[in-house]
Chains A and B, each alone.
Chain A
Amino acid sequence: MSGATVYGLCGAALVGFGLFGLIVHPEPLRKILAFNLIGGGVFLLFGVVARKGAARESAYGRGSARQRRRPERQLVRPLRFEPEEQRPHGGLVQRAHCRWTLAAGARASGS
């Protein structure tokens, strides 16, 4: 069970709670709050599907080379850099292209 699956379950729970609040509360403002919860849960489910898909890339960086020096010490730690993506130059396009080229052979499905 990966982190993304945990958040998928969280999204499912949010949809349930939001739907319950939408049905049970008579006041319009509480209904709006519950509806926003449903929306948040649905977006979380979308995000989980995207995360399981191709969005395994790492944190965004600027295009310049200065910030690419020591990526393993990035402050936003959970967003990992894959070792083969440490390029000393090139922006997101080049890194992303490199990743999709590597992954294309592994994936059987087109889209």
Chain B
Amino acid sequence: MSLALNLLTVLAVCAGAFFFLAGTAGLLRFPDPLSRLHALTKADNLGLGLVVLGLLFQVDGLLAGLKLISVWLLALLAGATVTQLIARAARPGGTPE
């Protein structure tokens, strides 16, 4: 049973790491800030979700699992907020004054 759990954890975390790699590739290769932000938010948040999913198999209680999920949700929310702030400054028209 624990072998199956460990295997699932490794698979999910590897998938998450792959998505992080994809997001970083997008950060490095995309031409302008807005598309780079898009790559970062989509790929990195999915990567974080997969990593959290993998770690959920290793927790030893409901509270720890809820903590992991709330970490993921907070990272989503914080990422969305910061992306909006950066995009406001980076778009072709500049920050609305």
Contacts and interface: CB of A to CB of B under 8 A. Distances in A.
Contacts of A70: 60
Contacts of B64: 75
Contacts of B59: 73, 75
Task: Count chain A CB atoms within 10 A of each CB in B55, B58, B60, B64 and give the residue with the most.
Answer: B60
Interface residues of A, number: 4
Interface in B46-96: 55, 58-61, 64, 68
A96 to B, nearest CB: 23
A52 interface: no
A25 interface: no
A69 interface: yes
Nearest to A70: B60
Contacts of B58: 73, 75
Contacts of A73: 58-60
Nearest to A77: B58
Interface string A64-80: 00000110010100000
A69 B58 CA distance: 15
Given A69-B60, A70-B60, 7 more contacts: A69-B61, A73-B58, A73-B60, A75-B55, A75-B59, A75-B64, A75-B68
Interface of B: 55, 58-61, 64, 68
- Name the 6 nearest CB pairs between A and B, nearest first: A73-B60, A70-B60, A75-B64, A75-B59, A73-B58, A75-B55
